[in-house]
Amino acid sequence: MSEWVSIEQWAECVRMERPGIVFEMRNAGGQSLLTHCTPGLPAKPWDWTSGPLEFRVVAEAPARHSDPLPAPAKR
């Protein structure tokens, strides 16, 4: 992970973008979300009381297979 960067520098995410990384945003309440670089800031989640203050580069979690669906119930 990298150091936190002020959200005013979000436009710089284009230069930081690489395969296998995403950006973690954090607000004043300590809430965070993961996002890819987008033009402009992503929409603020409904449960956030304040907008994002800072962001950093983090490794993207590896993809994993989901569990198979259970068999239908017998009637």
Contact 63, 73 (CB under 8 A): no
Residue 24 has pLDDT above 90, yes or no: yes
Query: How far is 30 from 38, CA to CA, in rounded Å?
Result: 22
Is 11 within a domain?
yes
Is 21 within a domain?
yes
Per-residue model confidence (pLDDT) at position 21: 93
Residue 10 lies in domain: 5-39+52-59
Structural domains in the chain (count) = 1
Is 67 within a domain?
no
**What percent of the chain stands above pLDDT 90?**
53
Q: Is 30 left (phi over 0), alpha (psi -120 to 50) or beta?
A: left
Is 33 within a domain?
yes
Q: Each residue of 37-71: pLDDT tens digit? A: 988 888 888 899 899 999 999 999 888 888 888 88
Residue 19 has pLDDT above 70, yes or no: yes
Contact 23, 34 (CB under 8 A): yes
Is 64 within a domain?
no
Per-residue model confidence (pLDDT) at position 9: 94
